[in-house]
Structure 1
């Protein structure tokens, strides 16, 4: 069975992280909430999140490690040297990583976006392009860079697409869950 870790940092965009956890758990994918600094994480909008684990080397074992955005949370992810070392080891091991909204700034600092395609919340691409000029920004809802094993997405409204993309990269068929959650209806109506 596939395993996914969603890393929550104080100031994270709650809907982005919880949507991934919800969708993947509905699909039967073993998904853990990992606190960057502890088991209790205050989100950007006053929602306290209770995680399953705290950051450690166990992240090396997950099939995908995913980051929600939110400026404050993304900056904490970016600035955490322990997490950076773990994510760099994951990249060298050929593991998939994912980040959405502002969180690709963390992947940029870690060197994970070097020479790869990505997307992010509008404006953060300018910051990333200064740090990693070889990274290629796209305005798509989600971007998958197969060579770099990186999945990225834009912001709160794209959290479902991001979650489904993670599941699909892991080899899961998302057609049924998209129908059950009315995503197919939403995609057709917008």
Structure 2
């Protein structure tokens, strides 16, 4: 299983890199993919070098993750390549995951209509037709949504549960997450 974490200018550091960190600890192939270039600046002015730049190869992945952050979430939502990718993954039954303001892409392309979902407070109006939940992490079918930075670790573990369920407890124990 391969996971792609999309990085657009202004992404939330904790949400993106926590997911990458936890998945890599479990031995999952998880690549950061810059939507426009290899160098991407976070919402807190940290410059990150992505593993790859978005291209057709991303369709070979099994999961796509959209971090939040501003203006990162808006940059993802307004990128037609990202919209096409997420819609195709969703339609093929692949896992699509987004946290914080990241789910606004899901709202734009209509995949949360009639689904349970969460996002950062104040963005729920962009999750058109969803059954909004005030929970840290919400799963509905192949859609995983997280509420915000505080949800980064539980969100990452939920993604891990979908790609390497046998590793979840081992990594939680090693990270003292259940302590």
TM-based fold match above 0.5: yes
Q: Matched residue of 2:113: which SS?
A: coil
How many pairs were matched up? 178
TM superposition score normalised by structure 2? 0.95
Residue number in structure 2 paired with 1:15: 14
User: Unaligned stretches of 5+ in structure 2?
Assistant: none
SS at match of 1:184: coil
* Aligned match of 2:158: 165
Post-superposition CA distance 1:30-49 (Å, at most 9, x none): 00000011100000111111
Aligned to 2:112: 113
> Which residue of the partner structure matches residue 188 of structure 1?
none
Matched with 2:131 is 136
Distance 1:39 1:112 in 2: 29
| Residue deviations 1:146-168 (CA, integer Å, cap 9, x gap) | 1xx10000111110101100010
Is the 1:4–1:30 Cα contact (8 Å) retained in structure 2?
Answer: yes
Distance 1:117 1:89 in 2: 20
Partner of residue 182, structure 1:
176
* Alignment partners' CA distance in 2, 1:38 and 1:166: 25
What does 1:33-182 align with in structure 2 at a 5 Å threshold?
A: 33-128=32-127, 132-133=128-129, 135-146=130-141, 149-173=142-166, 174-182=168-176
Residue 28 to residue 56, structure 1, CA distance change in 2 (3 Å)? same
Aligned-CA RMSD value: 1.1
Structure 1: segments with no counterpart, 5+ residues? 186-190
**How far is 1:123 from its partner?**
1.3
Q: What TM-score do the two structures reach when normalised by structure 1?
A: 0.90
Give the deviation of 1:89 after TM superposition. 1.5
Asked if the contact 1:57–1:86 (Cα under 8 Å) also holds between the matched residues in 2, the reply is no
